[in-house]
Structure 1
Amino acid sequence: MEAESLAGSMNGAPLAVSGVVHTLPREQLIRRLTQLAGVGNIDEAMRCLTEYVGAARFLLARYDLLQEQGLNFIVTSNWPFDLVRRISTALSDNYSRTTELEKCVTLLQPSFERLPAECRAPPGMSQQYCSLLFCVGRVRFALLLLFEDQMILSQERLREAALLAAYGASFVEGHGQRNDRDFELTEREVECLFWIAEGKTSDEIAVILGISRNTINNYITSVMRKTATKTRSEAIAYAVRNNLV
């Protein structure tokens, strides 16, 4: 199925992207999201929505936590960690400059922004990202999507994704964050998380801690298993939200 082209605007300039998107039919997507939301799997739910609109990476943020120190505003993400850390300030600044009326008008409407100059998108990704703002009760969320260069995004599908993201995020609010841990990380696992958050590679952490690279990777794998995350970036975001590092 070929998605329609989307013309958005960024600082008054039109945005045009081109490409073809092949995704699950809407009915199958909704059934899948219902299953995932029912068990509180917000990570996989956002991944399904990201694929549905033809994007490549997602970041779900709580705007009410943007002003807090750290990365507590992140609900779930598979953006590179360094990019998340750098863009948090820009998100906070942009949101604080937006009037309440503008925030209401832009609900469920896709908007496009350019990553800050100091931020580098992953290889093959556009320097622009799509933002979908929605509310769950009194809490505002935003789903930020990175997409490949020359990719078509459908405005209709983006609006649908915003509505469905609100449905998924409502389960996050209902279940609450896992602040009371039902798992325990070892001291070494927490150390590895800290150094990953500092941008260190497995080889660099091995030198710092004086143990082998394979052992470091085993610790990181254990952390991701315990936190039900799939990437290092997701594990760090989860750890920061739950005050593990």
Structure 2
Amino acid sequence: MSAACLAARARLCAGVHWCQSASREAKRPRCEASRASLRELREKTWSAAWLLSAALVLVWGCGGGVEGEGPGASAADAQGAGDGPGAQEDPGALVGYDLRRLRPRQGERLSQMFERVHGEATAEGKRVLVLFSADWCEPCKRLDLELGNMHPRSMIGDVRVLELKEEDWKDAARMDEFNELRRRWEPALGTYPLAVLVDAEGGRVDEMKEAKERLEAEGVDATLPLWLESSRDRGV
């Protein structure tokens, strides 16, 4: 091969090498920028995840308490809120039950918790229905289904249901508190459901099974919403 050909090949190879190097150099800033963007995105993601975890700890970290209060309240709770006798909403509008579940809370005995939430309900102009139930109880399961229904505001809107589940308090080894509260209105233990309407002082004014017998004797369907409505008409 002639010297001229060899020189031409050398120039060609040098040109290709330069183009490849230039291409790599051109890509390097874009790669660095991409890495920087990825690091920034990762940091933002970690920050958002940390904030979310902190928020969940603030909402749920204490555990127990009254389910249905505050940001975690269900739609039914929201619809039932503020529906005391003085409320101006349409009495025929459908609302859900204002249901609050009392669970074990560290540092607060059940008797104290009840006095607190009962006082809050009374201050809001609500009547209070205390419900003791258990997951193994078949009538309780049917009652739970009813508590998920909606009815005219005029029937259930002025009642707050305070529900206590046997399992919550047994698992926490605090059944003594559960039974102590139950004995305020019913000496017999272990039978469910027990649903009691109480007055502003916490005294027993009506009980579901007794009301059922009374309504059936009057020829009225013995349903929970009809009981609540009729008890109000009776001044209970």
Higher alpha-carbon Rg: 2
Q: Please report the TM-score for the alignment, with normalisation by the length of structure 1.
A: 0.20
Q: Which has the higher contact order (CA 8 A, sep 6+)?
A: 1
TM-score by length of 2: 0.21
The structure richer in helix per residue is 2
